[in-house]
Amino acid sequence: MSAIHPAIAPDNLAVITGGADGIGFAVAQALADRGMRVALADIDGVRVTEAAAALPDATGHALDVSDRAAVEALARELGPVSVLMNNAGTGGGGDALSNPEGWDRVLGTNLMGVLHGVQAFVPTMAESGRPGLIINTGSKQGITTPPGDTAYNVSKAGIKALTEGLAHTLRNREGCQVSAHLLIPGFTFTGMMRRRMAQKPDAAWEPGQVAERLLQGIAAGEFYILCEDNETTAQMDRKRIQWAAQDIAEGRPALSRWHPDWAKAFANWMASGD
């Protein structure tokens, strides 16, 4: 197999949170296929143990990423790491005026869980002088922030800002060979979705397609690894992201894409060749 990133090499260790199924497990399979050792971490101890048993050289670890001390303990236990994927995530937080407990849970897992992973693992990786790879799983909802689960949007927007800052810090650190990347999945038939519906929607990608796109993006040196799905093309994603940014630049109402006064303008924008 062709080289993707110098950190992805036989016998190097990869740590993946939220690794019991879905995108995390698909990436674990892809890295194991390339000879890496894999440590899967997940809040569901039974499922993560079963997942690890399905890979050739893997261990499973029950872990709540919202618990900083537990993440730090895992980092000490595992020792030198070459690839870190902060992938654990959850939803169902609610809008800005509801469900305080849901907000705590979503931000604790999605945002603070990523920060805990970064701060527990990355300093040692950066100081080692060895090639390293950080992948943080974001979301298009952290960029275009659609109405609905505002807590989820806030958490994923935070991951975007955190990962951008991390990449800048690593890039400007003398002797550091660690790169950071933001994975931005599209509509994906994850393990969480499988537990709610028996059949994959036609519009959704399989997790393995996301893993393939991730490795492609890393090989190309992309920071923002934006994934398509079976209903959304790369061009559609770019135009939606540009529209969202122009809300600020042009002084439009917040979330104008979903504002009735701007529905026609948005439709025209998406249909244009710009």
Where do the structural domains in the chain lie, given as residue ranges? 13-232, 233-274
pLDDT of residue 1: 46
- Neighbouring CB atoms inside 10 A of 271's CB total 9
pLDDT per position as a tens digit, 152-175 = 999 999 999 999 999 999 999 999
pTM over 0.85: yes
Query: What's the rounded Cα separation, in Å, for the pair 217 and 235?
Result: 16
CATH architecture for the domain at 13-232: 3-Layer(aba) Sandwich (3.40)
pLDDT per position as a tens digit, 183-199 = 999 999 987 777 778 88
Location of structure tokens 């690890």: 52
Q: Is the dihedral of CA 123, 174, 14, 136 positive or negative?
A: positive
Catalytic residue set: 152
Helices (H) and strands (E) in the chain, counts: 11, 7
Predicted confidence band of residue 176 (pLDDT cuts 50, 70, 90):
very high
Average per-residue pLDDT for the chain: 96
Cα-based distances in Å from 144 to 18, 86, 90, 244: 24, 21, 18, 6
